[in-house]
Amino acid sequence: MTSVTVRVEGPDPYDVVIGTGVLGALPAMVGDRARTVAVVHAAGLPEIARPVVGVLERAGHTVHALPVPDGEAAKDVAVLAGLWSRFAGLGMTRTDAVVGVGGGATTDLAGFAAASWLRGVPAVLVPTTLLAMVDAAVGGKTGINIPEGKNLVGAFHPPAGVVCDLATLVTLERDDYISGLAEVVKAGLIADPRILELVEDDPEGAARPDGPHTRELIERAVRVKAGVVGADLKEAGLREILNYGHTLAHAIEKAEEYRFRHGHAVAIGMVYAAELACLAGRLPEKEVDRHRAVLTSVGLPTSYGAEAWPALRAAMTIDKKSRGSTLRFVVLDGIAEPGRLEGPDEDLLAAAYRKVAK
């Protein structure tokens, strides 16, 4: 399978290389100036971290593998502080580099560690999950969680490059792969309807890492995100559309103490946002039905517990899109026609949730 390169424009442009067996792109992204390279990797992925270390060592770098907890447990201030201490022990300077290997939690952590060490050192990301490839690793958002909410502490720090080796996807559990599809479908809903058509034509194939359109789906999703973040790195306006479904999703994740898969929460959140837009008279009901159909076809959930609404509503108050006390939602006026709904009435919020309650 040949590789494809997607360019992310902006103040600090970089490439996203997508393909199988593409780790050879890493040394050029790390660059010749880096003497020491810290490879921050999920502890459960030593077999994936080893070839990353190997390709960098063969390029002449001094490489140190630094394992961190798997999953969201990595995005903790204590883990971050531990990395800072390791960087200090390694004598890492501003010309050295961090390489993050793992899912979205690992790349978020590695990126923030790079952004905050000496006020910023280069980061190269090697996402190993579908979710990380199409979302977390592209766009320069980095961060950790605190008890009050997800991703509330972080920095914008574009990577020096991203390498998406599709060979790593075959190691994913089926539910984890399907979780990542939520962000792929999101890209289709907000910007690229061809993604929806590919999934609708072959949902079973879309739900497999060896499906006939896997690389095209990933490439299209990455291109959507690249186009948005290249025009709006720091979420001044346009970039907010990437948060479609995320207001409720982050509330669900908090309620579940981050044990709920991100993509599953986003799937529910997108249906909620669609119902909200429909009740507000902005999105046709047939498009709400399409949300449910395409998400359900690949095995993603579209409903959540009715009794959870009070806790979810409270959690949504602490949302990065809010302005003061005004709650803001990304909604659609049609497929690939994103907009915003500001300060919706409480009765409307509750009515929309009843549509997704089970």
Distances (CA, A) of 261 to 51, 55, 256, 344: 28, 32, 10, 27
20 marked as part of a ligand binding site = no
Enter the DSSP assignment of 73. Answer: G
Query: Would you call 246 a catalytic residue per the annotation?
Result: yes
289 marked as part of a ligand binding site = no
Query: Would you call 183 a catalytic residue per the annotation?
Result: yes
Catalytic residue selected from 41, 223, 262, 292:
262
273 marked as part of a ligand binding site = no
Residue type, 219: E
Query: Would you call 262 a catalytic residue per the annotation?
Result: yes
Catalytic residue selected from 200, 235, 287, 337:
235
Catalytic residue selected from 141, 254, 292, 328:
141
Residue type, 237: G
291 marked as part of a ligand binding site = no
Beta bridge partner(s), residue 75:
none
Query: Would you call 64 a catalytic residue per the annotation?
Result: no
149 marked as part of a ligand binding site = no
How far apart are the C-alpha atoms of 90 and 255, rounded to whole Å? Answer: 38
26 marked as part of a ligand binding site = no
Residue type, 311: A
What element of type H or E holds 175? helix 174-190
107 marked as part of a ligand binding site = yes
What element of type H or E holds 151? strand 149-156
Catalytic residue selected from 157, 250, 261, 291:
250
How far apart are the C-alpha atoms of 47 and 237, rounded to whole Å? Answer: 40
Q: Is 5 left (phi over 0), alpha (psi -120 to 50) or beta?
A: beta
Catalytic residue selected from 61, 157, 243, 254:
243
169 marked as part of a ligand binding site = yes
170 marked as part of a ligand binding site = yes
73 marked as part of a ligand binding site = yes
315 marked as part of a ligand binding site = no
Catalytic residue selected from 215, 225, 291, 292:
225
Give me 65's structure tokens: 């593998």
326 marked as part of a ligand binding site = no
171 marked as part of a ligand binding site = yes
Catalytic residue selected from 157, 239, 261, 292:
239
Residue count (the chain): 358
Query: Would you call 225 a catalytic residue per the annotation?
Result: yes
Catalytic residue selected from 246, 254, 292, 328:
246
* 6: number of Cβ within 10 Å: 20
Query: Would you call 239 a catalytic residue per the annotation?
Result: yes
Please classify residue 223 by burial: count the beta carbons closer than 10 Å to its beta carbon, then call 0-12 exposed, 13-18 middle and 19+ buried: buried
198 marked as part of a ligand binding site = no
How far apart are the C-alpha atoms of 104 and 69, rounded to whole Å? Answer: 12
81 marked as part of a ligand binding site = no
Residue type, 177: Y
Residue type, 332: L
Spatial CA neighbour of 330 closest among 224, 243, 201: 243
141 marked as part of a ligand binding site = yes
Question: Annotated binding site for NAD(+): which residue ranges?
Answer: 70-75, 104-108, 128-129, 141, 150, 168-171
Catalogue the active-site residues.
Answer: 119, 141, 183, 225, 235, 239, 243, 246, 250, 262
Question: Annotated binding site for Zn(2+): which residue ranges?
Answer: 183, 246, 262
Question: Annotated binding site: which residue ranges?
Answer: 70-75, 104-108, 128-129, 141, 150, 168-171, 183, 246, 262
